[in-house]
Amino acid sequence: MKTHVFSVDNFVDESLIYPQIFEAANFLRRDELVAFPTETVYGLGANAKSTAAVEKIFQAKGRPSDNPLIVHIASIEQLHEIACEIPDLAYTLMNHFWPGPLTIVLKKKEGISEKVTAGLDTVAVRMPAHPVALALIRASGLPIAAPSANRSGRPSPTIAKHVLDDLEGKIAAIVDGGATGIGVESTVVDCTQPVPVILRPGGVTKEEMEQIVGEVRIDPGLEEKEATPKSPGMKYTHYAPQAPLIVVKGSPSFLQTLIDKQKTEGKKVGVLTTEEQRHHYNADVVLTCGRRSDLSTVAHRLYDVLRQFDETDVDLIYSESFSSEGIGAAIMNRLMKAAGQQQIVEK
């Protein structure tokens, strides 16, 4: 299969949508797969109402079929087509954070493919804050099921090249709208309960939601491997580079002792660090993913840097750890999944 690449600016004017958007939308209406940019990462889109189309997502990604997908919409009218029993709490969150990196889990209506919801009675929905994504959804006239546009387990794509590296020849098209903004996926919050529960930390923080709706809980499944994931990203190892990754919680000098030990054993070692601390390390490859003083820069660069390690010959990667406050919760969630929960703590 040839993968078409449609290049557009990431500031699509609604009054003058690019012809490429309509071409990509036609692929979606024909039940083909189209990757597109959002404000978080690139998504791999399919008609959420078509089981045949959605099955192609799992085939292209090599994604386990018990892992539910997020449905992307461009209007509240589309929301009412796919979800029901929507509580006032959910509308309050939508009013403050949509369009934006917040996915809301609601009771589903009939019409969405069972493959999207992995057999659950709920559906995860978001309205992306990216003009290209919104234009594509509107042009297609469909709710779009879209996980990240990468091979399952790999770091999520933040530029079109990442998508091509993983999925060229397996999908019909990519809409190239340049680099994404936030760099980590949306927050997923379950609003089917009286108190909202975060199933996946992401671009909207717990603290930001609590300022709007009061108490917000964290699902204990974030720390456990559940038998039935309620949200994308809860059960399986994700985001991993090719070399083993270990998160280190401790001082730079402690991390350097770990590097030195591996080097004495003949291993080539990589370090994922920040601009403030890179000078502390003597390793074979040292890559920075942003500034510790501004963790949004770390979120923005994280997946790109994990993929950069794949272009080196390191045998092992150590990553610094970060605060779990604010956007740091999403960063640490992704790092620990990329590391398969492997962590070394300085005593």
Low-confidence ranges of the chain (pLDDT < 70): 14-16, 223-237
Q: What does the pLDDT read at residue 14?
A: 65
Q: What does the pLDDT read at residue 123?
A: 97
Instruction: Give Cα separations from 175 to 6, 35, 99, 309 (angstroms).
Output: 5, 6, 20, 26
Please check if 146 is assigned to a binding site.
Answer: yes
What is 4-222's CATH topology?
Answer: DHBP synthase (3.90.870)
Q: What does the pLDDT read at residue 234?
A: 47
Annotate the chain with three-state secondary structure.
CCCEEEECCCCCCHHHCCHHHHHHHHHHHCCCCEEEECCCCEEEEEECCCHHHHHHHHHHHCCCCCCCCEEECCCHHHHHHHEECCCHHHHHHHHHHCCCCEEEEEEECCCCCHHHHCCCCEEEEECCCCHHHHHHHHHHCCCEECCECCCCCCCCCCCHHHHHHHHCCCCCEEEECCCCCCCCCCEEEECCCCCCEEEECCCCCHHHHHHHHCCCEECHHHCCCCCCCCCCCCCCCCCCCCCCEEEEECCHHHHHHHHHHHHHCCCCEEEEECCCCHHHCCCCEEEECCECCEHHHHHHHHHHHHHHHCCCCCCEEEEECCCCCCCHHHHHHHHHHHCCCCEEECC
Please check if 148 is assigned to a binding site.
Answer: yes
Q: What does the pLDDT read at residue 226?
A: 47
Please check if 29 is assigned to a binding site.
Answer: no
Of 166, 124, 167, which is closest to residue 146 (Cα–Cα)? Answer: 124
Q: What does the pLDDT read at residue 345?
A: 97
Q: What does the pLDDT read at residue 228?
A: 47
Please check if 122 is assigned to a binding site.
Answer: yes
Q: What are the residue boundaries of the structural domains of the chain, listed by start?
A: 4-222, 245-345
Please check if 300 is assigned to a binding site.
Answer: no
Q: What does the pLDDT read at residue 227?
A: 41
Instruction: Give Cα separations from 70 to 155, 309, 310, 343 (angstroms).
Output: 18, 29, 28, 29
Please check if 96 is assigned to a binding site.
Answer: no
Q: What does the pLDDT read at residue 12?
A: 72
Place of tokens 């692929």: 27
Architecture, CATH, for domain 245-345: 3-Layer(aba) Sandwich (3.40)
Please check if 186 is assigned to a binding site.
Answer: yes
**Pairwise CA distance, residues 242 & 223, whole Å:** 23
214: how many CB neighbours lie within 10 A of its CB?
10
